[in-house]
Amino acid sequence: MMEKIIANLAKYPQINDYRLVATNSRSNEIFYILDKVETLRSTKLEATCSVTIYVDQDNKRGQASFVIHDSYTDEQIDQKIKDAIYQSKFSLNTYFALPKGEKREFANDSNIIKHFDSDLVFKIGDAVFKASTFKDGWISSMEVFVRENKVHIVNSQGVDYTYYTNSIGIEVIPTFKNEKEEIELYTYLDYDHLDYDKITSDTYDFLCQAELRNQAQKYSGPNELPVLLEDKEIKQVLGNLIDNLDYAMVYNKMDLMKIDDKFYGDGDDMPDISLVPYVEGSISNRAVDVDGIVLQDTKIVADNRILCNHGSNQYGYYLGVDKPTGILPNLQVAKGKHQLSELCAKEHLACLAFSSFQFDIFSGNFGGEVRLAKYFDGEKYIPVTGLTIGGNIHELKSHMQFSEECSKIKGYSGPKACLITKMSVN
Amino acid sequence: MYSDYLKDKKELMKKLVQCFTAEYDYVSCLGSDIKGKSYRVNAMQSQVNESSIERGFVIKLYKDKLYREFSFDDLTTENFAELVENIKASNKITYAYVPSDTQILNDEPLIKDFERIADDIDYSDEKIMDILTNGKDIMMQQEQIVNAIAGFTKYEVSKCFVSKHRELTQHYAYYNLVAMAIARDEKTMQNAYRTIDGIKPSELFAKYDELVKETASVAKMLLKAKPVVPGVYDVITSPSISGLIAHEAFGHGVEMDMFVKNRALAKDYVGKQVASEIVSMHDGAASAINVASYFFDDDGVLASDTLIIDKGILVTGISDALSASVLKTKPTGNGRRESFSHKAYTRMTNTFFSPGTDKLEDMIKSIKHGYILYDTNNGMEDPKNWGIQCTASYGLEIKDGKLTGEAIAPVIISGYVPDLLKSITMISDDFELSGSGMCGKGHKEWVRVSDGGPYMKAQVKLG
């Protein structure tokens, strides 16, 4: 299909550049009610290509994007191109050059592809149910998604890259019953490799959390105390701060920090932060970004100083960056200086599950309703629920202590936990 | 105009259904052709692009107590035989499994075409960009506004549903107009975001100047907002926050696919009091005209208006066809897919509390110390335990029955859903719906919904 589109684009000399992104995907999916199968699904999608054309006028660059389906005739493609040329005059913005590139296919190193058959979703389902060995708990809902994508990016400056992504996604919702009520907890596990034992073990760990929520009592501790956040929330808090260093935020005058500023304010001994294309096990891994920039590890914060901005080719060009980083998919944070046992030695609240952790990129306010936490009163842990935590990162970032122990999750590699020494809890 | 593409494919869809009718107890095929166009202007840039494009099909088959689906993105005479083989191959199951207690879907005969005529012919690209540029300029003229975004998106939906006994088509459009202002001072940055949504661009654009002025003013006001002192307060929820509560606090809990999995506490409360006697709540694609108003759902079930809470009593939930078949209830037309390549679940559409008889000024006068809460920020459901987390962008303080001009932000509303709904003592005679939001199931499966209602006075925990 790409050849047909490129041949049609060539008929229009007013088009200065173009970019095409074609994604072929297939999936197998299974949906359970309790431990019984309700629906099996498969998808096979291979007939669309996203096209962006660039039309220069008066030293400015206009652009317009559209989608071509394989079913389009040459006449329909022509009409789409003509419409896009017309629309591009409404997007006449500062000129930027597209990245140059070469033809290259990045290898697919996931083992999922070798096991991609109709039985796989059942086997993954079995691996999940194997962990369900709890007296008062069961899995009430489960969905498994096995996906394979092939992404092909071509532009008029020689970029011709192909890469693959494979993933297994598992939504697990267990129910536990106590004398008073039933409770449930939500998780979505994801993997870029198939490992049945890890699926069983991760499910078991999550079911232990659900069992803990079953024992949780209403929080009645202090309204201000140290709060321990886990990797998922650290990723969100630091990731949003790093997002504020995006070229686009600078260009649009929405940046709060500048190069050479202290990233953590007055905080001491804080971990360095990089953006990287590859983290072991992360389903966000990409070799190239959507513009066709080949991605490389980029250190953003070192010794508490902001080293550089990051982001897309277009906005990097606007800021005069020689070599824009491209859109990097993973946050890599160096290990902290504190052992987890040290962080947990005094009274604190360890948050294990939020209903939906929120971070406002503009104001820096963050927090949310905690579905499950462990309150440590200085002597013992008490599982608690029904509370909210909140704070502002610009006031609290110098009060963060990171663990030496590290973990790897989707889009993140770094400290497993972070203690924020003073947060509002209600 | 209804999609020419789907018009051309209808006979092939019927042929595909026919191919599997002998072997399967139920067969249907849904075709989607959705077009969108988005316009964006900010202080530095402008853009016009196609967006939200979707074109493809899903076939649904049932036998041996198991539903099977296959999603694909083209259907032609040339690929027909290969497609049939692919569907057959995907349904070959060698693995031993236990099916759940599903039932065959109802397939009552109906042949009908539905159309809600799009109302945007008077709006050229130039005209829309002029309106947006003007809106952006109005916001940028205010001090402390460092950037402003004006946006408009139009969506045009065509769908075709074919089963052994049903042939349905529908075509409709909806629109979303956005204003966002970013304000900053030496210390902080804040943003305000407002939308107007509906099916008539002329009505949306008529209110735009007022909307952008309000948006910029709110962004500036938020720079001075203080955090709320946590506690339990008398509050008045604006229509946006009333809608958020209807949607997050109660709507998700009455999605009846949750009943099937025994995941919703509401299942045990049908016929019982769950809210104060002045509270009534609806959901349905036919309950209002907004962004989630369609004629039939993705199961081929006609849209309806479901009265969920009637004068404080929980009457019923909402359902997709599959859940209704298991529960042996009538489906309510709430089976929705994120796209043709996703499964259908029970989903909300237009969800709202009914208006009451009180006047907003009387509600304000009745509060000794509390807040009016504005602008949905986010929310999350907890249908099993009826916990609530909703975030309002800001609140305005009321003291001794008067607004003080002081603002709080952000505002997290938490608590236990029945406590909140039973604490409602006054409901205004206003009514607004907002359709800017996308609703997820868990943390995925995003669909466009609207929600809203009147101003409501309640007692809630703020943090």
Could you read off the pLDDT of A304-356 as tens digits, one per residue?
999 999 999 999 999 999 999 999 999 999 999 999 999 999 999 999 999 88
Task: Please answer yes or no on whether A93 and B43 come within 8 Å at the CB atom.
Answer: no
Of A45-49, A245-249, A411-415, B192-196, the range with the lowest mean pLDDT is A45-49
Task: Report pLDDT for A108.
Answer: 87
SS3 content of chain B, % helix, strand, coil (to 5): 25, 40, 35
Residue of A26, A32, A38, A393 for testing the chain B interface, max B β-carbons within 10 Å? A38
Please report which helix (H) or strand (E) contains residue B213, including its range. Answer: helix B208-222
Residues 6+ apart with CB under 8 A from A186: A171, A172, A173, A353, B442, B443
Task: Please answer yes or no on whether A38 and B100 come within 8 Å at the CB atom.
Answer: yes
Q: How far apart are alpha carbons B5 and A423 in whole angstroms?
A: 56
Is B308 among the domain residues?
yes
User: By percentage, how much of chain B surpasses pLDDT 90?
Assistant: 84
pLDDT tens digits, A96-113: 999 999 999 999 889 999
Is B284 among the domain residues?
yes
Cα-to-chain-centroid distance, residue A226? 27
Q: How far apart are alpha carbons B442 and B323 in whole angstroms?
A: 17
Ranges assigned E (strand) in B297-368: 306-310, 313-314, 335-336, 345-346, 350-353
Chain B CB contacts of A71 below 8 Å: 5, 55, 74, 76
Task: Please answer yes or no on whether B94 and A119 come within 8 Å at the CB atom.
Answer: yes
Q: Helix or strand or coil: residue A129?
A: helix
Name the maximum alpha-carbon separation found in chain B. Answer: 75
* CB-CB contact of B182 with B190 (8 Å): yes
Chain B CB contacts of A360 below 8 Å: 377, 410
Task: Report pLDDT for B385.
Answer: 81
- A421 φ, ψ to 5°? -70, -15
Query: Is it the case that residue A363 has pLDDT exceeding 90?
Result: no
- A94 φ, ψ to 5°? -50, 140
Task: Please answer yes or no on whether A171 and B98 come within 8 Å at the CB atom.
Answer: no
Query: Is it the case that residue A257 has pLDDT exceeding 80?
Result: yes
Q: How far apart are alpha carbons A385 and A355 in whole angstroms?
A: 11
Is B175 among the domain residues?
no
SS3 content of chain A, % helix, strand, coil (to 5): 20, 45, 35
Chain A CB contacts of B55 below 8 Å: 48, 69, 71
Scanning A157-295, the segments in alpha helix (DSSP H) are 196-215, 231-243, 247-251
Query: Is it the case that residue A12 has pLDDT exceeding 80?
Result: yes
Of B44-48, B294-298, B426-430, the range with the lowest mean pLDDT is B44-48
Domains: count for chain B: 2
For all residues of chain B together, what is the average pLDDT?
Answer: 94
Residue of B74, B382, B444 lying closest to A355 (CB–CB): B382
Q: How far apart are alpha carbons B373 and B37 in whole angstroms?
A: 33
Task: Please answer yes or no on whether A182 and B384 come within 8 Å at the CB atom.
Answer: yes
Q: Helix or strand or coil: residue B25?
A: coil
Cis peptide before B410 (omega within 30 of 0): yes
Q: Helix or strand or coil: residue A7?
A: helix
Chain A CB contacts of B190 below 8 Å: 362-363
How many angstroms away from the CA of B95 is the closest CA of chain A?
6
pLDDT tens digits, B55-104: 999 999 999 999 999 999 999 999 999 999 999 999 888 899 999 989 99
Would strands A365-376 and A406-409 be described as parallel, antiparallel, or unpaired? unpaired
Scanning B22-94, the segments in alpha helix (DSSP H) are 80-90
pLDDT tens digits, B323-343: 999 999 999 999 999 999 999
User: By percentage, how much of chain A surpasses pLDDT 70?
Assistant: 100
| Count of other CB atoms within 10 angstroms of residue B285 | 27
Is B83 among the domain residues?
yes
pLDDT tens digits, B358-371: 999 999 999 999 99
Residue of B125, B147, B442 lying closest to A254 (CB–CB): B147
Domain boundary among B64, B86, B115: B115
Q: How far apart are alpha carbons A169 and A159 in whole angstroms?
A: 31
Confidence of residue B382 (pLDDT cuts 50, 70, 90): confident
Please report which helix (H) or strand (E) contains residue A191, including its range. Answer: strand A187-191
Q: How far apart are alpha carbons A231 and B260 in whole angstroms?
A: 34
Confidence of residue B390 (pLDDT cuts 50, 70, 90): confident
pLDDT tens digits, B397-418: 999 999 999 999 989 888 888 9
Structural domain of residue B449, as residue ranges? 231-462
Confidence of residue B379 (pLDDT cuts 50, 70, 90): confident
Q: How far apart are alpha carbons B325 and B342 in whole angstroms?
A: 20
| Assigned token pair, A18 | 């173009």
* CB-CB contact of A277 with A328 (8 Å): yes
pLDDT tens digits, A208-243: 999 999 999 999 999 999 999 999 999 999 999 999
Extract long-range pairs of A312-316: CB within 8 Å, 24+ residues apart. Answer: A312/A247, A312/A248, A313/A96, A313/A98, A313/A99, A313/A289, A314/A96, A315/A246, A315/A247, A315/A248, A315/A250, A315/A251, A316/A247
Mean pLDDT of B32-53: 92
Domain boundary among B76, B91, B115: B115
How buried is residue B315: exposed, middle or buried, by Cβ count under 10 Å (0-12/13-18/19+)?
middle
Task: Report pLDDT for A78.
Answer: 95
DSSP state of B246: I
DSSP states of A355-411: S--EE-TTT-EEEEEEEEEEEE-SS-EEEEESEEEEEEHHHHGGGEEEBS-EEEETT
Task: Report pLDDT for A215.
Answer: 94
| Count of other CB atoms within 10 angstroms of residue B403 | 13
Task: Please answer yes or no on whether A64 and B49 come within 8 Å at the CB atom.
Answer: yes
Domain boundary among B92, B115, B138: B115
Identify the sign of the CA torsion B359, B361, B364, B366. negative
Confidence of residue B119 (pLDDT cuts 50, 70, 90): confident
Region of residue A157 (phi > 0: left; psi between -120 and 50: alpha; otherwise: beta): alpha
Residue of B70, B101, B380 lying closest to A356 (CB–CB): B380
Residue of A28, A48, A253 lying closest to B73 (CB–CB): A48
Task: Report pLDDT for B432.
Answer: 95
Q: Helix or strand or coil: residue B451?
A: strand
| Residues B105, B237 within the same domain | no
Confidence of residue A46 (pLDDT cuts 50, 70, 90): confident
Q: How far apart are alpha carbons B454 and B459 in whole angstroms?
A: 16
Mean pLDDT of A154-180: 96
Task: Report pLDDT for A343.
Answer: 96
Task: Please answer yes or no on whether A141 and B86 come within 8 Å at the CB atom.
Answer: no
Q: How far apart are alpha carbons B462 and B456 in whole angstroms?
A: 16
| Residues B274, B401 within the same domain | yes
DSSP state of B455: -
Task: Report pLDDT for B11.
Answer: 97
Is B129 among the domain residues?
no
Ranges assigned E (strand) in B87-164: 110-115, 145-163
Task: Report pLDDT for A426.
Answer: 85
Task: Report pLDDT for A356.
Answer: 82
Mean pLDDT of A32-52: 94
Query: How many A-B residue pairs are in contact by the CB < 8 A criterion?
Result: 219
* CB-CB contact of A216 with A349 (8 Å): no
Residues 6+ apart with CB under 8 A from A241: A257, A263, A393, A397
Chain B CB contacts of A386 below 8 Å: 387, 414
Task: Please answer yes or no on whether A31 and B343 come within 8 Å at the CB atom.
Answer: yes
Q: How far apart are alpha carbons A27 and A150 in whole angstroms?
A: 12
Chain A CB contacts of B189 below 8 Å: 254, 256, 362-363
Question: What is the identity of the amino acid at A394?
Answer: H
First to last CA, chain A: 57
CATH fold of A2-215:
PmbA/TldD fold (3.30.2290)
Region of residue B453 (phi > 0: left; psi between -120 and 50: alpha; otherwise: beta): left
- A159 φ, ψ to 5°? -65, 130
* CB-CB contact of A41 with A1 (8 Å): no
Query: Is it the case that residue A254 has pLDDT exceeding 80?
Result: yes
DSSP state of B265: G
* Matching residue, tokens 């592809």: A113
Cα-to-chain-centroid distance, residue B63? 32
Residues 6+ apart with CB under 8 A from A336: A271, A401, A402, A403, A404, A415, A418
Please report which helix (H) or strand (E) contains residue B128, including its range. Answer: helix B125-140
Confidence of residue A380 (pLDDT cuts 50, 70, 90): very high
Query: Is it the case that residue B436 has pLDDT exceeding 90?
Result: no
* CB-CB contact of A296 with A289 (8 Å): no
pLDDT tens digits, A47-93: 789 999 999 998 999 999 999 988 888 999 999 999 999 999 999 99
